[in-house]
Amino acid sequence: MQGYFNHMAAAGSGHENWSSRSAFILAAVGSAVGLGNLVRFPAEAGTNGGGAFVLFYIFCVVLIGLPVLLSEILIGRHGQAAAPSSFRKMAQESGGSKAWGMVASLGVFSAFLILSFYCVLGGWVLYYIGLFAADVLATGPTTGAFAGQSFEQVDSYFGAMVSDGLATGLLDVVFLGITVFFVARGVTGGIEKVAVYLMPAFFFLLVGITIYGMFGGALGQTVDYLFTFEPSKLTGEVMLAAVGQAFFSLSLGVAGMVTYGAYVGRDVNLASTSGIIAGADTAVALIAGLCIFPIVFVAGLEPSGGLGLMFQTLPHAFSDIPFGTLIGLAFFIMVAFAALTSSVSLMEAPTSWAMERLGLTRVSAAVSVTVAAGVLGVLSALSTGALSSFHPLGFIPMFEGLGILDALDTFTGKLTMPIGALLTAVFIGWVASRRLLDDENGLSGGLHHFWLFLVRWFCPLVLTLILFGGVFPKTTAQIFAAFN
């Protein structure tokens, strides 16, 4: 115990804080806004009944995501240390067991696993930047993308990429390299800088491309598609998909927001700041829908689900519009910016843990995390090509037929993230001392009690349902069928 506190003091001596509240907001929004908003949200909305999914998603962000987001930032801010120590500190001050630190250790581990495959996807985005850049150079900026090439040819780029382990492995390493470049420079010198420059550039590109797409004429169809609420489409599956997406998009359950919270000053009001972060993340997801679907509809295409929407449907759609090649290039650069500010936060959680726990300097901690994530990442990159028939956890039903990348995605998305978020809500709702929460959360009166109610009862209940639904999809489907 004594050793543990000494250790924290040693780590604390090098403790940095964000240089301002807005720097923190940009970094946290940078963490939240990523492939989840640009790839997953539109694809999930597309396959899950459009408006029913979108409206339920907003409900989930407000009533489930936001209370947990506030909890995570609060634990970090109170602890001012790496995530597991922050949990332990609050647990001990509240008379609870220091085993609660394990919740954050699990989170740090999930952040590491997600980092390993997130950077593979980041590498894919770099590959497409290369494809569009080469196309702009070849045909000039005014034509549609891939002018003169057949539909099949444009389609084949994706298959060619994912089966090319050398290219995707290398680009994964490049994306990790860019990430570690910023993480190694520290909170104010790197993590904050990348957010402060890239987030405004990201918003500018997003709004610009969205406005351009609106002139195509499919705005009405898009609005119908995204916002028409048909109650019959709100099935149990759609609800589970929406909650899962809300948690992923707000970067919850992986200790990332606890880690960022540790650099927040005492004077910051956490409730209003969490509200801004969740609001900005949700706005970006909705604008991403308004950006992508008009372009897809104008080209007369059906929006596909999964990764196909971004890497196959959109390139076809860009080939149909004037300046499509240039807009496509700008689009993928924008996606890369968003992915980078997320991968930085995924790397920071294990890095700050390694600094504190293993006593490493920031540079060695970040580099060690990078090397480990690189090894796992290259295996993930190969899992869509040379290693595609290797199914590491295939003997467990929920991982049947999944390659390394998909298995990591499923393991974190369906197991460790919901478990982390569930235990965080239970910890705040049932273990943390009321006085301490009252001092920290920036809420008063009815809102304070409403938040406590949500983290005590509502969030744990819903998160248990998601966990059950993810682990036992067949049983869940049968239960839903019985109700329909």
The binding site for ligand PHE (CB under 6 A) comprises 31-32, 34-37, 114, 248-249, 251, 254, 256, 342, 345-346
Nearer to ligand PHE, 118 or 225 (CB): 118
Nearer to ligand PHE, 176 or 326 (CB): 176
Nearer to ligand PHE, 124 or 323 (CB): 124
Closest distance to ligand PHE from the beta carbon of 37 (Å): 5
Nearer to ligand PHE, 125 or 317 (CB): 125
Closest distance to ligand PHE from the beta carbon of 27 (Å): 11
CA distances from 168 to 128, 132, 161, 305, 409 (A): 11, 16, 7, 22, 17
Nearer to ligand PHE, 249 or 319 (CB): 249
Alpha-carbon span 201 to 377, nearest angstrom = 28
Alpha-carbon span 352 to 64, nearest angstrom = 27
Nearer to ligand PHE, 36 or 469 (CB): 36
Closest distance to ligand PHE from the beta carbon of 348 (Å): 9
Nearer to ligand PHE, 235 or 345 (CB): 345
Nearer to ligand PHE, 299 or 340 (CB): 340
Closest distance to ligand PHE from the beta carbon of 251 (Å): 3
What sign does the CA torsion over 35, 470, 100, 456 have? positive
Terminal Cα-to-Cα distance of the chain (whole angstroms): 54
Alpha-carbon span 394 to 380, nearest angstrom = 15
Alpha-carbon span 60 to 341, nearest angstrom = 24
Closest distance to ligand PHE from the beta carbon of 247 (Å): 9
Closest distance to ligand PHE from the beta carbon of 62 (Å): 17
Closest distance to ligand PHE from the beta carbon of 17 (Å): 20
Closest distance to ligand PHE from the beta carbon of 117 (Å): 11
Alpha-carbon span 160 to 127, nearest angstrom = 11
Nearer to ligand PHE, 39 or 432 (CB): 39
Nearer to ligand PHE, 101 or 350 (CB): 350
Alpha-carbon span 307 to 309, nearest angstrom = 5
Closest distance to ligand PHE from the beta carbon of 34 (Å): 2
Closest distance to ligand PHE from the beta carbon of 298 (Å): 26
Asked if 348 contacts 144 with a C-beta cutoff of 8 angstroms, the reply is: no
Closest distance to ligand PHE from the beta carbon of 35 (Å): 4
Nearer to ligand PHE, 4 or 181 (CB): 181
Alpha-carbon span 179 to 351, nearest angstrom = 12
Asked if 77 contacts 271 with a C-beta cutoff of 8 angstroms, the reply is: no
